[in-house]
Amino acid sequence: MPSPSYWVKKAETARRLIDKNGRAITIVKLSQALDDNAKPWRGEAAPRTTPEDSVDAIGVFVPLSSQQILGIQASPDLDVTRGQQICLVAANNSAGDLTLHNEILDGGTRWRIVRAQLLQPGSTALLYAFEVKQ
């Protein structure tokens, strides 16, 4: 098994390549606050108005067919929920757990996160792979 310093170097390489080839995006965690506590099934009427969290990042969009090449676990679900692309984002430990976020804003395009996976061999977080669709 490779040493931890090996994975730290891989994480630095992933960050450098994504920063060089990616574009600015915002990863958004929509508000989960309830408008009416007596009717929790209704949720919030406008969850985008005041999101719980947002993180500015650099992302690289690749075709969905890149999943196996990148070592991303393919979805066992039906194709109904399958995304259109994969957005790769270098892991940043200070940003918190990005797998809990709901959307990616890419300029004027809003992508819904269908599935999020953190690629983390051992204790070193390398990158996030978000399966997204419009």
pTM value is 0.81
pLDDT tens digits along 27-74: 999 877 666 667 666 666 666 666 788 899 999 999 887 666 566 665
pLDDT tens digit string along 121-132? 888 899 999 999
In CATH, what number does 4-133 get? 2.40.10
CB 60 within 8 A of CB 21: yes
pLDDT category at 95 given cuts 50, 70, 90 is confident
Q: Is the pLDDT of residue 80 over 60?
A: no
The residues spanned by each domain of the chain are 4-133
Query: How confident is the model at residue 37, as a pLDDT?
Result: 66
> Residue type at 100?
L
Q: Is 74 exposed, middle or buried (0-12, 13-18, 19+ CB in 10 A)?
A: exposed
